[in-house]
């Protein structure tokens, strides 16, 4: 598993008090882990700080709400980690 | 400062957009129904109201920075420290600075001092949301009342 996933899983485990072993790359943050929107903002804060990025949560939420993107695209952890890697790469470029 | 109306900030002393920092002041009233219970014969400003005071200073900072486009709602209080008592008539210097601007949320550090002496401090986080009906007008009026003009904001 990627270093990004390990960091994100650690953040989720610590922030939401979820046992680390229950968090897998295929976990859906909302449906599988039961993370609500407020808790996800808490996670986003920790991710922003850890990776030096700004997760575009408002844009993602709008896309999901308008049916332009499935929630899985952003909230399944392996997909979330890919987005984080892309944002980190864009920052470096 | 009108504790029972949750009007915690009297005046904005400075608003620095570049530094993302606000300095405000408030004078604790000589009398308030709050002091009748906290505590009878020994009036002290409750820590929860000092937290609210720091949150409001932070909120005005965020409103100023975002030009009243989103309403900040307190969502987290972290590392709050209350270092000494605050009594009636105390003049509070309340300051806040933005430490992180996320998507849909923001984080600040805020503190209160009296004559340069640290009183309390906390790390606060706010959810940034569309204004509920009529609240935009209320916030505009409140900013004007405390001296944070819409032009400056």
Which residues of A are less than 8 Å from B104 in CB distance?
A: 41, 44, 57-58, 61
pLDDT tens-digit map of A17-68: 999 999 999 999 999 999 998 899 999 999 999 999 999 999 999 999 999 9
Would the CB atoms of A45 and B125 count as touching at under 8 Å?
A: yes
Q: How far is CA A50 from CA A7, A44, A47, A54, A84, in A?
A: 8, 10, 5, 10, 11
Would the CB atoms of B104 and A45 count as touching at under 8 Å?
A: no
| A70: pLDDT strictly greater than 70 | yes
Structural domains for chain B: 3-146 (3.10.129.10)
| A1: pLDDT strictly greater than 70 | no
pTM: 0.90
Residue B87 in 3-state DSSP? Answer: coil
**How far does B97 lie from chain A, in Å, by closest CA?**
16
Residue A7 belongs to domain with CATH number: 1.10.1200.10
Please determine, for the modelled complex, whether the ipTM score is greater than 0.85.
no
Residue B12 in 3-state DSSP? Answer: strand
What pLDDT is stored for residue B129 in this prediction? 94
Tell me how far apart the alpha carbons of residues B3 and B121 are, in angstroms, rounded to a whole number.
19
List strands edge to edge, sheet with B21-27.
B11-16, B21-27, B91-101, B105-114, B117-129, B71-82
Read off the pLDDT of each residue in B30-59 and give the average, rounded to a whole number: 96
| B128: pLDDT strictly greater than 60 | yes
Please count the structural domains in chain A.
1
Report the residue from A45, A59, A61 with minimal CB separation from B102: A45
Residue A60: domain span:
3-92
Interface residue A63 vs chain B (CB under 8 A): no
């Amino acid at each position: 598993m990627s270093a990004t996933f390990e960091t994100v899983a650690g953040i989720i485990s610590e922030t939401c008090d979820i046992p680390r072993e229950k968090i897998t790359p295929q976990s859906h943050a909302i449906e599988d882990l039961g993370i609500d929107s407020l808790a996800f903002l808490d996670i986003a804060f920790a991710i922003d700080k850890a990776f030096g990025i700004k997760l575009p949560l408002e844009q993602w939420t709008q896309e999901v709400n308008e049916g332009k993107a499935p929630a899985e695209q952003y909230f399944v952890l392996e997909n979330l980690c890919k987005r984080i890697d892309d944002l980190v790469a864009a920052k470096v470029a | 400062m009108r504790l029972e109306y949750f009007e915690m900030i009297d005046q904005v002393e400075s608003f620095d957009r570049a530094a993302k920092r606000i300095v405000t002041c408030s004078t604790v009233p000589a009398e308030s129904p709050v002091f009748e219970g906290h505590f009878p014969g020994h009036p002290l400003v409750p820590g929860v109201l000092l937290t609210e005071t720091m949150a409001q200073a932070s909120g005005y900072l965020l409103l100023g920075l975002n030009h009243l486009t989103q309403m900040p709602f307190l969502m987290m209080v972290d590392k709050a420290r209350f270092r000494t008592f605050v009594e009636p008539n105390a003049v509070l210097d309340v300051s806040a600075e933005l430490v992180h601007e996320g998507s849909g949320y923001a984080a600040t550090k805020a503190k209160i001092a009296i004559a340069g002496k640290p009183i309390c401090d906390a790390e606060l986080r706010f959810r940034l949301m569309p204004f509920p009906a009529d609240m935009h007008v209320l916030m505009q009026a409140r900013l004007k009342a405390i001296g944070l003009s819409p032009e400056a904001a």
